[in-house]
Every structure is written in structure tokens, then in C-alpha cells.
């Protein structure tokens, strides 16, 4: 089947960048990205390319190049479904906040709504592709809805998980380590796989395109993230030991990372991992293991999350303890709110949890993040439901300048590894702060010696 029309349901951090690259690399394919959120679609269509809703280095130029040519953003979900040969589902799959599996299982209501919509609209055969990270066997549920409620058209369901990391999405999409496509072993399933393989072949070498059955593909996505998160929790567990023993976690990470069997990546000790994937995917894995009665397997992976929660708490506790056991009414400046650099995404960011703990201790938090708005900061805190929105608003403020955020502060906490933090005038910051002036570097990015020479009391993670 020659593919000329693709649609993607969900214009978020995955759907937006992925479809922009497909459109750029496949000018012969019309790519339409749809979303129920009209504000988000309007932002993607904003004439000023800098106003697109997602900050990703290099993305706005690609959108500007392809938009209106073969890349379209729209709220007309039905029309896009009707016209497309391949439909990507790229909607959010948050952890359930209610009922069975609360706090663990993925909430599939958005996926189910999409499947029902596709079933209602489709008048000819379609390939439906799961792009969102989903628990194993979701494809089966989608298939069941499509086959039982549709207009007797034939659907093929593929799993094609996205491995891009935020902040490097464009590079990851242009040069992926691999593309994974899972499908049914039947002849029709293989034909659908081939149709999608051909789309990616426009810019990805054939040996990098792996094809599997649907469940292997679904499970590989969850476990790739679980393995990555496990490395961070492993190094973070050792960071606490280093602080007690006088070993330095940066030195340990370098020493173990040079073993070619271990490798150097994902060994950066930090205040804890965040993002929309790691925690959610591990919780899914744990839930799936439990549902098969595999309690040891479930406990093993859950420990990665327990360690991560401990690391965030430990960081907040360290601030309180070091500031003479009280942060009440003290201004604590946060450099960074996003869950990592080069993104405006804050989902599950460590900053949210550290701020929450410090606000419980009556601290005043002053945030500076180059890409995150105050509205988002407040939404993140309100979402925890720890206290009223009014109390949150009184306890936290945001600044457009790092120097203003740090002025009169008792301590600075570095929560995100934005490059610009390294280049600040740290003498000027020191002069404007309360003394002693503390820096808690949750990302180990600042120059300890240089800061100590100025007069700061510096504490990193794991040394």
C-alpha cells in the first residue's frame, strides 16, 4: 500500500515533533495532526513559529518549513480520520488517579475514546498505530473496540513506540538508534508493518528498523525506560553512600562508566529523575507483573521508584537540616523547574516535590526557569492537592531574571541542568544573598571550587 495520507491524534510532546519530522522527510505524504485542545492547535498554527506550544531545540524551524505544505494542525478529528490511511494514536496515558489500579495502572480512557472515534468514522481499511506508551496488550483492547463497533472495515493495529527524549527530540527523531514496529504475524499484519517501514525508510537505514510481534514491541518500550530509570536510581543510591564515606559520585560514575560493558550514559547522579515516562512506565510494569501474580518481579522494579522518591525527599531534608533545621519564612531560590534542560515540560519534575516539602516547612520559594511560566508552576503544585491554591500562590513566586530570584535568598537549589546557570555572574548573586549563602546543586553542574572561593557553602549530590 502506498501511503500518501497520515493522521495523528494528539498534538503533544510526542505527536507534534514526530509528525513534524515525518512531514519534513516525506514531502509526498500529507500529515495532519489533530487535537481536541483548540488552544494547543492554535499555538501550533501561530504565524510566529516561536509560539508553538512545545519548546524543543530545532523544532520550530522544521514546523515552519513543512507547515501548510504537507503538515497541518487541526481540531477536525473526524475529517482527518476519514482521509488517513495510517492513524497514529498519540494521546496522553496518565497514571490512573481513581478506582482499580489507582496510582499504578495507566488510564486508558483517552485511548479508548480515540478507538471509538476511529471505529465510528472509518469507511475504508485503516492502519492504526499506537504511539503513546501503553501497557502491554493495549493493542488487543483497541482491536476489540475497532472490530466490534466499526463499520465492518478492516483494521490493522501496529505498535510503534517512540523513543525520543525531550530536549533532544529533533536529533533523536532524525537519527534514531532504532525504529520498532510490532504487528500481527498474519499476512495482513505483515503488509501493514511494511507500509509503515516504507514511511520510515525515507530517512532511516533499513537495518535500524526492527519488526516484532505487537506484545514484544509494547513490552520493549516499557522495559527500555525501566532499564534507563534503574541506572539513575542505582547511581543515586550510591550517591548517598558517597556522601557518608567521602567517595565522590562523579568519580565513581566515571570509573564504572569506562567499563565498556557498563557504558558512560545515564550515570549522572541527580535530585531524581522526572518526566512523563519513567515513573509511569515502571508503575505499569509493576502493575502488569502483579496482575500475573509475579510479586518478586513487581517488587524488584518498584524499588526503582522508591529510590527515586527517597532521593527527592533527601534533597529537601538536606536543605532544611543545613539551614539550621528551619526554613520557615526563608527565601529559597530554585534555578530550574523543568524535569530536564531544553524542554518546557514539567511533568513529574523533581522540583515540584522538593518545593512541596519545603513549603510544608513554611519556606518561600522563588523560581527561575528559562522556559516555564508561573502559571505552570502553580498548576503543578495545585495538582498535588497538598494545600489550597491560595496557599500555594502565597508560598511560591516566579521571576524573569535569576538575579531577582536569588536576591535576599538564604539558599539556592539547582533543580534543572540548564546550561545558562553555569555562566551566571555568581559573585553578583553571592553579594545579593543572605549569609551564609548556600548552594544545593541537585544536578552537579556548578563549579564547586569557584563557588567556594567566592564564599558560598556548596553541597552537590554524592560528594
Output 126 or 268, the one with its CB closest to ligand UDX: 268
- Give the list of residues 6+ apart from residue 155 with CB closer than 8 angstroms, or none: 118, 122, 125, 126, 127, 128, 143, 146, 147
Using CB under 6 A as the binding rule, whether residue 300 contacts ligand UDX is answered as no
Using CB under 6 A as the binding rule, whether residue 13 contacts ligand ADP is answered as yes
Kindly indicate which of the ranges 54-62, 210-218, 269-277, 383-391 contains the residues binding ligand UDX, using the contact rule CB under 6 A: 269-277
- Catalytic: which of 7, 8, 26, 277? 277
Using CB under 6 A as the binding rule, whether residue 126 contacts ligand UDX is answered as no
Active-site residue, 406 included: no
Using CB under 6 A as the binding rule, whether residue 270 contacts ligand UDX is answered as yes
Among 203, 266, 300, 430, binds ligand UDX (CB under 6 A): 266
Q: How far is CA 113 from the centre of its chain?
A: 23
The contact pattern for ligand UDX, residues 202-241, with x = CB under 6 A and - = no contact, is: -----------------------x--x---x---------
Output 266 or 300, the one with its CB closest to ligand UDX: 266
Number of residues located near ligand ADP, criterion CB under 6 A? 21
The closest of 90, 64, 66 to 7, measured between CA atoms, is: 90
Parallel, antiparallel or unpaired: strands 411-414 and 331-335: parallel
Q: DSSP letters along 228-259, please?
A: HHHHHHHHHHHHHHHHHHT--HHHHHHHHHTS
Pick what 442 binds: ligand ADP, ligand UDX, none; C-beta below 5 to 8 Å, kind-dependent: none
Using CB under 6 A as the binding rule, whether residue 77 contacts ligand ADP is answered as yes
Among 110, 200, 315, 440, binds ligand ADP (CB under 6 A): 110
Using CB under 6 A as the binding rule, whether residue 40 contacts ligand ADP is answered as yes
The closest of 446, 433, 448, 426 to 323, measured between CA atoms, is: 433
The side-by-side arrangement of strands in the sheet containing 331-335 is: 396-398, 364-368, 331-335, 411-414, 438-441, 457-459
Pick what 40 binds: ligand UDX, ligand ADP, none; C-beta below 5 to 8 Å, kind-dependent: ligand ADP
Kindly indicate which of the ranges 86-94, 153-161, 176-184, 233-241 contains the residues binding ligand ADP, using the contact rule CB under 6 A: 86-94
Rounded to whole angstroms, how far apart are CA atoms 446 and 451?
Answer: 8
Helix (H, G, I), strand (E, B) or coil at 283: helix
What are the residues facing 366 on neighbouring strands? 333, 397
What are the residues facing 231 on neighbouring strands? none
Helix (H) or strand (E) holding 385: none
Output 13 or 421, the one with its CB closest to ligand ADP: 13
Residue 10 annotated as binding? yes
The closest of 33, 132, 21, 128 to 73, measured between CA atoms, is: 33
Using CB under 6 A as the binding rule, whether residue 371 contacts ligand UDX is answered as no
Rounded to whole angstroms, how far apart are CA atoms 347 and 12?
Answer: 13
Among 11, 285, 367, 381, binds ligand ADP (CB under 6 A): 11
Residue 35 annotated as binding? yes
C-alpha cell at 454: 567566592
Residue 4 annotated as binding? no
Rounded to whole angstroms, how far apart are CA atoms 418 and 335?
Answer: 9
Instruction: Burial-class residue 288 by CB neighbours within 10 Å (0-12, 13-18, 19+).
Output: buried
Name residues contacting ligand UDX, limited to 332-361 (CB under 6 A): 339-340
Pick what 315 binds: ligand UDX, ligand ADP, none; C-beta below 5 to 8 Å, kind-dependent: none
- By CB under 6 A, name the binding residues for ligand ADP: 9-15, 34-37, 40, 77, 90-92, 110, 113-114, 132, 276
Residues acting as catalytic residues = 277
Which positions touch ligand UDX (CB under 6 A)? 162-166, 225, 228, 232, 266-268, 270, 273-275, 277-278, 339-340
Amino acid at each position: 500500500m502506498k501511503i500518501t495520507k497520515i493522521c495523528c491524534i494528539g498534538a503533544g510532546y510526542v505527536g507534534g515533533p514526530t509528525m513534524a519530522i515525518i512531514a519534513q522527510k516525506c514531502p509526498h505524504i500529507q500529515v495532519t495532526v489533530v487535537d481536541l485542545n483548540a488552544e494547543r492547535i492554535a499555538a501550533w498554527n501561530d504565524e510566529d513559529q516561536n509560539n508553538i506550544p512545545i519548546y524543543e531545540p530545532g523544532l520550530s524551524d522544521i514546523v515552519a518549513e513543512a507547515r501548510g505544505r504537507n503538515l497541518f494542525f487541526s481540531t477536525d478529528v473526524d475529517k482527518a480520520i476519514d482521509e488517513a490511511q495510517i492513524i497514529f494514536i498519540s494521546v496522553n496515558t496518565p497514571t490512573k488517579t481513581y478506582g482499580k489500579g489507582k496510582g499504578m495502572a495507566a488510564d486508558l480512557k483517552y485511548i479508548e475514546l480515540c478507538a471509538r472515534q476511529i471505529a465510528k468514522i472509518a469507511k475504508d481499511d485503516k492502519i492504526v498505530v499506537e504511539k503513546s506508551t501503553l501497557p502491554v496488550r493495549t493493542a488487543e483492547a483497541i482491536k476489540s473496540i475497532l472490530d466490534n463497533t466499526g463499520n465492518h472495515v478492516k483494521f490493522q493495529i501496529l505498535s510503534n513506540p517512540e523513543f525520543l527524549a525531550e530536549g533532544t527530540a529533533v536529533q533523536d527523531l532524525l537519527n534514531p538508534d532504532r525504529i520498532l514496529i510490532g504487528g500481527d504475524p498474519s499476512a495482513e499484519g505483515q503488509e501493514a508493518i511494511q507500509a509503515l517501514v516504507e514511511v520510515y525508510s525515507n530517512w532511516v537505514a533499513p537495518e535500524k528498523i526492527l519488526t516484532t510481534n505487537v506484545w514484544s514491541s509494547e513490552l520493549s518500550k516499557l522495559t527500555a525506560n525501566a532499564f534507563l530509570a534503574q541506572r539513575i536510581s542505582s547511581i543515586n543510591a550510591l550517591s548517598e553512600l558517597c556522601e557518608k564515606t567521602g567517595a565522590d559520585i562523579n568519580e565513581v560514575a566515571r570509573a564504572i562508566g569506562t567499563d565498556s560493558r557498563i557504558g558512560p550514559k545515564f550515570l549522572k547522579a541527580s535530585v531524581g529523575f522526572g518526566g512523563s515516562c519513567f515513573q509511569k512506565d515502571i508503575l505499569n510494569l509493576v502493575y502488569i507483573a502483579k496482575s500475573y501474580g509475579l510479586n518478586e518481579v513487581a517488587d524488584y522494579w518498584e524499588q526503582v521508584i522508591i529510590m527515586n522518591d527517597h532521593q527527592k525527599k533527601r534533597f529537601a531534608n538536606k536543605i532544611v537540616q543545613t539551614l539550621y533545621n528551619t526554613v520557615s519564612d526563608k527565601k529559597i531560590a530554585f534555578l530550574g523547574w523543568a524535569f530536564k534542560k531544553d524542554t518546557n515540560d514539567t511533568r513529574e519534575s523533581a522540583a515540584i516535590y522538593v518545593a512541596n516539602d519545603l513549603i510544608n516547612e513554611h519556606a518561600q520559594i522563588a523560581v527561575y526557569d528559562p522556559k516555564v511560566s508561573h502559571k505552570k508552576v502553580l498548576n503543578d503544585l495545585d495538582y498535588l492537592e497538598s494545600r489550597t491554591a491560595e496557599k500555594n500562590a502565597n508560598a511560591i513566586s516566579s521571576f524573569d531574571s535569576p538575579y531577582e530570584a536569588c536576591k535576599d535568598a538564604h539558599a539556592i537549589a539547582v533543580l534543572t541542568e540548564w546550561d545558562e546557570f553555569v555562566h551566571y555572574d555568581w559573585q553578583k548573586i553571592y553579594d545579593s544573598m543572605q549569609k551564609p549563602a548556600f548552594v544545593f546543586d541537585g544536578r552537579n553542574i556548578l563549579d564547586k571550587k569557584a563557588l567556594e572561593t567566592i564564599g558560598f557553602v556548596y553541597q552537590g549530590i554524592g560528594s
